Each structure stands twice: as structure tokens, then as C-alpha cells.
């Protein structure tokens, strides 16, 4: 059974906490918004309000030129009423029926117009047949106050006391003196759509806030996993990298502890192997020294010279191995360095000796790595190009996320089927290398080892002539 304390500190509990917190915030925000942002009731108009608005619109449009009446009518509208000018008589279907006939008669009397100059109809299809007087007689809330533009005249009319309270489901049209009409109707956007739009806006804001809060908490939960992944990549580049601190959820701390233990075992294995190779190399050199003394006692002869040459070659191989092991054991600390300046120095040193070596690239390329190791990498590749390709061209490209160094020569090139083989230790291609020219076949192996220790690699790319070695070093 999982202890309660470990359960609370686990990833599952924290994820559930994040999800629960996000749901709680979203539900709370939705409840507050719905309770606070209630929809407005449908607008209610009194007969007197309709008379005032209709008379105001009629007088304004009669005074306006015909060409400007559409624009003028639109400017007379309010938040509750839409005003439109019509140059023809509106459709007569479903006009002046039932209660609407009484409403039209009151409005025409209040405006002092003939009965046929005022028409009223419903906007509800269900009311078209005959709404009856009950439509306006049922209890209704207080009338909606109209927001009138500043400076607009308003004419007052005296009506009898039994005027209607009219819900916003009508269309009122009044005939002008020239036979055109002005139409007044509730705003085209119902109140519930305005409420829905504002509610959705508030809910969207609440969702954004909830998601942001959840992301912040989730980020804190997943941060140890990102650190764990970065440490795994760092171990691939440098087995001697520093250990991770054990923090975060219990499962992550357990994984970090196991990872640190594995890293320690790998480090000890590499150290033991390096020390063993160094010891073997030292013992072999001791034996070879005794062989040289004994060989000197054999006198001068062809066999003696051949044996001496073999011993000399073995000595060079041992020196190369010991040098490689020494570099591995030293574990040079990493520091910021200018890779472009380093490449320039390597080529300039050869150019000073009348060797054809050039550099092309930026003046500076800052990189964090092992100075001696990287210089050895560049030197090995450039020396290899000069020795077997007659000249060396070093090209450096700073691509931001990585630095790419290319070393080209004008030699015979390397066959495709041999391009991986040349990176194996003590490998020499017969077409380009021999005992007479020197070289123990460790240069390219060491170069690739150094590049991979920095998280990069060395490979041979296609080239029109000669060989092209490409080094990638990620930052």
C-alpha cells in the first residue's frame, strides 16, 4: 500500500490537483458570470413613447431632402428602436389586426393623422392570425426609457389614461406628407443575443485565466522532468557531468536517484578502463625497452633491422594510445572559447610553414567546450588534409544552435564504402597511408571521440574532389 505522504507528493496527485483547480476556477467563474450578467428583459414601450418617437422621426424626415432620408432615418434610431425610411407603402399582410388595430388608432389620434396613415403589425409569426386585446392587457414590467440623441426636439401629446404598454414585438409605420413612409421597430438584435455575446466573452476570459493558472501549476510539476531530460543529454556528451539535485514529485526523485547512481557507475567504469589501458601501455613499453636492448646484442643484419622497425612502429602505436588515454583521464574542464579564432590559428601556423591551408568563416564563433580537445580535433583533420590531400580548406558556419566546421582537401578522396571504417582505431587506407608516411590510424578516431564528447559528430560528406570532413558541434 502506498503511504499517504508519498501519494500526496506524487505526480498523479499533482496532476489531479491541477485538473481539479482548473475545473473549480472555471465553474466558479461561470457561476459568477451567469448570476451577475443576467439578460435584460424585452423592451416595453408605452403608447406615448411610440407617438413621441414616431412624430420626431416623421418631422425630421419630412424636413430632410429625399436623397438624405435613408441616412437621416438611421441617425434617428436608438438602442431600442430602429428607424427606416420607405419610399413605398409597406406590405399590408397582417397589419392592423386585433389589438394592433386599437394601438394604431390611438397612435393616429395622438399624432393627429388619419387612421390609414398609421399601420402596426406584430413581429411574431404566432400572433399574425389575431393576437386579441389580451396581448397588451396582461401585466408587463415598467416601460423601457429611450435614450434620445442630445439636442433632439420632442413633442408631447395628450392621451387618454387607458394607453397600451406595448412589448417590443411590433413594427409601426407612419405615412409622410409626400406619400413615403417611416418605419419604427425594435432593434434587430434581441436582448438575449446581446446577453449571450457578453456572457460568452466573459466565459472566454475566465477560461483564459483558468488555463493560464493551470499552465503555471503544470509547469512547476513538469519542470523536474525537463531537468531530468537535460541531464540525460548532458550525460551523453560528458560522463563526468555534475549530478542532479533530487527534488520534485516522489516518482521524479526516485528516477533522479537511479539516474545519478547509473551515472556514477558509468563514470567509474570509464575511469577503471582508462587506468587499465594506461597500465597495460606502460607495462608494454617496459617490455619493448628490454627487447630493444636484447636486439642490440644480436649484431647488425637484415632481420635485426626489420625487428627494429617493427618495434619502432609498436612504440609509436603505444605512444598514440597512451596519449589518447592520458587525454581521456585528464577530463579537461569546459570553458567559453572562440572556435573561429582557434581554426584561424591552426591554419595560420601551417601557412607560416608554406603549407597551403586557408580559413573561411566569421571572425568569431563562441562555443563552450574543452580548448585542448577541440584544438586537437581541428589539428588532426587539418593535418590529415595536408598530408593526404595536398592542401586544407577550413570553412566554419555559425548556425546559432550549432557550429559546423568543414575541412576539405584536394586528395584522392575516400570511397563511400570506407567512410565509416576510417574512423575505427588503427585503421589506414592502403591508397593513402602506409608505414613510410607515418600515422597510426588514431587521428580520425580521436577526432570523432572528441566531437561526440561535445554532443556532436564527425562524418565524411560527398565532394566533387578530395575528401570533405564535416564536424557538427551543438551549443
Greater confidence, 378 or 231? Answer: 378
279, with CB counted inside 10 A (0-12, 13-18, 19+), is exposed
Greater confidence, 155 or 259? Answer: 259
* Average pLDDT rounded to a whole number, residues 288-317: 76
Q: Domain spanning 335-474 has what CATH number? A: 3.30.565.10
Within 13 Å, how many C-alpha atoms sit on residue 189's CB side?
A: 9
| H or E, element range at 214 | helix 191-237
- Residue 175 has what pLDDT? 92
- Residue 190 has what pLDDT? 58
pLDDT (tens digit per residue) in 230-289? 777 777 666 666 677 777 777 777 888 888 888 788 777 777 777 777 777 777 777 777
Answer for the pair 259, 229: CB distance below 8 angstroms, yes or no: no
Architecture of the CATH domain 268-330? Orthogonal Bundle (1.10)
Q: How many CB atoms lie within 10 A of CB 310?
A: 13
Q: What percent of the chain has pLDDT over 90?
A: 15
Rounded to whole angstroms, the Cα distance separating 144 from 49 reads: 9
- Residue 40 has what pLDDT? 61
pLDDT (tens digit per residue) in 305-359? 778 777 777 777 777 667 666 655 556 778 899 999 999 999 999 998 888 899 9
Residue entry with cell 498523479: 12
* Average pLDDT rounded to a whole number, residues 120-147: 48
Provide the total of helices (H) and of strands (E) in the chain, helices listed first.
12, 13
**How does the average pLDDT of the chain come out, rounded?**
76
Measured in residues, the chain has a length of 475
The C-alpha cell of 260 is what? 545519478
| H or E, element range at 210 | helix 191-237
Greater confidence, 123 or 75? Answer: 75
- Residue 167 has what pLDDT? 67
Strand ranges in 53-126 using DSSP code E only, listed in sequence order? 81-86, 118-122
pLDDT-based confidence at 92, cuts 50/70/90? low
* Average pLDDT rounded to a whole number, residues 110-127: 77
pLDDT (tens digit per residue) in 4-53? 555 555 666 667 777 777 777 777 777 776 677 666 666 778 888 889 88
Least confident among 5-19, 193-207, 326-340, 400-414: 5-19
The CA dihedral of 112, 116, 118, 121, to the nearest 10 degrees, is 150
- Residue 189 has what pLDDT? 58
Greater confidence, 367 or 88? Answer: 367
Answer for the pair 170, 164: CB distance below 8 angstroms, yes or no: no
Nearest to 166 by CA among 184, 180, 153: 184
| H or E, element range at 108 | helix 99-111
Domain ranges of the chain: 4-39+194-231, 44-189, 232-267, 268-330, 335-474
Q: Which residues pair with 183 in a beta bridge?
A: 84, 173
* Average pLDDT rounded to a whole number, residues 429-437: 49
pLDDT-based confidence at 146, cuts 50/70/90? very low
The C-alpha cell of 291 is what? 627487447
- Residue 221 has what pLDDT? 73
Rounded to whole angstroms, the Cα distance separating 366 from 39 reads: 63
Q: Which residues contact 460 (CB under 8 A, 6 or more apart)?
A: 414, 419, 422, 467, 468, 469, 470
Give yes or no on whether 268-330 and 335-474 have one common fold.
no
233, with CB counted inside 10 A (0-12, 13-18, 19+), is exposed
The full DSSP string for 299-368 is: -S-HHHHHHHHHHHHHHHHHHHHHHHHHHHHH-PPPEEEEHHHHHHHHHHHHHTTT--EEEES-S--EEE
The C-alpha cell of 208 is what? 483564459
Q: What percent of the chain has pLDDT over 70?
A: 74
- Residue 412 has what pLDDT? 83
Least confident among 109-113, 195-199, 385-389, 426-430: 426-430
The C-alpha cell of 421 is what? 571504417
Amino acid at each position: 500500500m502506498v503511504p499517504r505522504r508519498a501519494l500526496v507528493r506524487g505526480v498523479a496527485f499533482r496532476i489531479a490537483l491541477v485538473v481539479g483547480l482548473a475545473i473549480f476556477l472555471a465553474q466558479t467563474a461561470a457561476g459568477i458570470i451567469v448570476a451577475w450578467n443576467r439578460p435584460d428583459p424585452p423592451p416595453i414601450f408605452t403608447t406615448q413613447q411610440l407617438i413621441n418617437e414616431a412624430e420626431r422621426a416623421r418631422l425630421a424626415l419630412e424636413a430632410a431632402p429625399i436623397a438624405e432620408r435613408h441616412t437621416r432615418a438611421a441617425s434617428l434610431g436608438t438602442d431600442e428602436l430602429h428607424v427606416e425610411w420607405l419610399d413605398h407603402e409597406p406590405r399590408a399582410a397582417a397589419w392592423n389586426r386585433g389589438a394592433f388595430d386599437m394601438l394604431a388608432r390611438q397612435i393616429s389620434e395622438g399624432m393627429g393623422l388619419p387612421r390609414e396613415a398609421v399601420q402596426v403589425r406584430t413581429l411574431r409569426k404566432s400572433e399574425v392570425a389575431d393576437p386579441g386585446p389580451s396581448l397588451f392587457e396582461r401585466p408587463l414590467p415598467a416601460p423601457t426609457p429611450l435614450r434620445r440623441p442630445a439636442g433632439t426636439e420632442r413633442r408631447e401629446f395628450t392621451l387618454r389614461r387607458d394607453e397600451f404598454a406595448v412589448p417590443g414585438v411590433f413594427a409601426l409605420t407612419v405615412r409622410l406628407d409626400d406619400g413615403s413612409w417611416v418605419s419604427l421597430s425594435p432593434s434587430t438584435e434581441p436582448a438575449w443575443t446581446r446577453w449571450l455575446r457578453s456572457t460568452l466573452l466573459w466565459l472566454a476570459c475566465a477560461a483564459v485565466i483558468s488555463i493560464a493558472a493551470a499552465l503555471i501549476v503544470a509547469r512547476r510539476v513538469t519542470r523536474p522532468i525537463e531537468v531530468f531530460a537535460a541531464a540525460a543529454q548532458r550525460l551523453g556528451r560528458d560522463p563526468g557531468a555534475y549530478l542532479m539535485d533530487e527534488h520534485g514529485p516522489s516518482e521524479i526523485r526516485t528516477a533522479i536517484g537511479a539516474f545519478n547512481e547509473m551515472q556514477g557507475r558509468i563514470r567509474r567504469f570509464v575511469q577503471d578502463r582508462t587506468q587499465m589501458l594506461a597500465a597495460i601501455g606502460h607495462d608494454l613499453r617496459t617490455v619493448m625497452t628490454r627487447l630493444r636492448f636484447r636486439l642490440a646484442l644480436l649484431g647488425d643484419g637484415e632481420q635485426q633491422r626489420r625487428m627494429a622497425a617493427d618495434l619502432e612502429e609498436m612504440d609509436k602505436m603505444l605512444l598514440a594510445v597512451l596519449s589518447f588515454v592520458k587525454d581521456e583521464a585528464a577530463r579537461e574542464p569546459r570553458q567559453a572559447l572562440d572556435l573561429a579564432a582557434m581554426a584561424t590559428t591552426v591554419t595560420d601556423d601551417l601557412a607560416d610553414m608554406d603549407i597551403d591551408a586557408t580559413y573561411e568563416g566569421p571572425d568569431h564563433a563562441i562555443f563552450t567546450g574543452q580548448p585542448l580537445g577541440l584544438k586537437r580535433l581541428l589539428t588532426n583533420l587539418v593535418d590529415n588534409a595536408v598530408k593526404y590531400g595536398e592542401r586544407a580548406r577550413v570553412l566554419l558556419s555559425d548556425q546559432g544552435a550549432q557550429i559546423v566546421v568543414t575541412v576539405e582537401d584536394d586528395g584522392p578522396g575516400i570511397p563511400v564504402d570506407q567512410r565509416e571504417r576510417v574512423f575505427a582505431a588503427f585503421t589506414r587506407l592502403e591508397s593513402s597511408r602506409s608505414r613510410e608516411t607515418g600515422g597510426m590510424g588514431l587521428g580520425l578516431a580521436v577526432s570523432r571521440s572528441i566531437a561526440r564528447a561535445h554532443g556532436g559528430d564527425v562524418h565524411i560528406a560527398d565532394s566533387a574532389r578530395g575528401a570533405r570532413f564535416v564536424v557538427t558541434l551543438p551549443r
